[in-house]
Copies of this chain bind each other. A is one copy, B any other.
Amino acid sequence: MRDFLPDDVRRRQYVIDVVRRVYERYGFEPLETPALENIETLTGKYGEEGNQLIFKVLKRGEGESSGVADLALRYDLTVPLARVVAEHRGKLPKFFKRYQIQPVWRADRPARGRFREFYQCDVDTIGSTSPVVEAEMIAAVSEVLQALGFEDFTVQVNHREFLRMLLSDAGIPESRHGDALIAIDKLDKIGADGVVADMAARGLSQESARAALENIEGAVDTLFAESSGWSTHPDGTATAAAENLLRIFTLCEATAARGHVKFTPRLARGLSYYTGAIMEIVVPDLPGSLGGGGRYDGLIGMFSGEPIPACGFSLGLERILVVMGERGMFPPDVQASGPDVLVTLFDAPSIPDSLRLAGELRGEGLRVEIYPEADKLGKQFKYASARNAAYVTILGADERARGEVTIKNMKTGDQTSVGREYAAQRIRTER
Contacts and interface: CB of A to CB of B under 8 A. Distances in A.
A255 interface: yes
B35 A3 contact: no
A94 B105 CA distance: 34
B387 A93 contact: yes
Secondary structure call for the A interface: mixed
Interface in A132-180: 132-133, 135-136, 139, 143
Contacts of A27: 339, 367-370
A373 to B, nearest CB: 5
Contacts of A36: 1, 55, 105, 116-117
A30 to B, nearest CB: 4
A335 interface: no
| Total copies of this chain within the assembly | 2
A251 interface: yes
Given A30-B9, A56-B64, A355-B251, A130 B367 contact: no
A97 interface: yes
Interface residue tally on A, bucketed by range: 35 or more
Interface string A108-140: 000000001100000001001010110110010
Interface stretch (A183-191, A282-290, A345-353): A345-353
Interface in A10-49: 10, 12-13, 24-27, 29-36
Please list the 4 inter-chain residue pairs (A to B) with the smallest Cβ-Cβ separation, ordered nearest first.
Answer: A67-B67, A27-B369, A1-B34, A6-B29
9 contacts: A3-B33, A10-B30, A26-B369, A57-B58, A58-B58, A130-B373, A143-B362, A251-B355, A254-B359
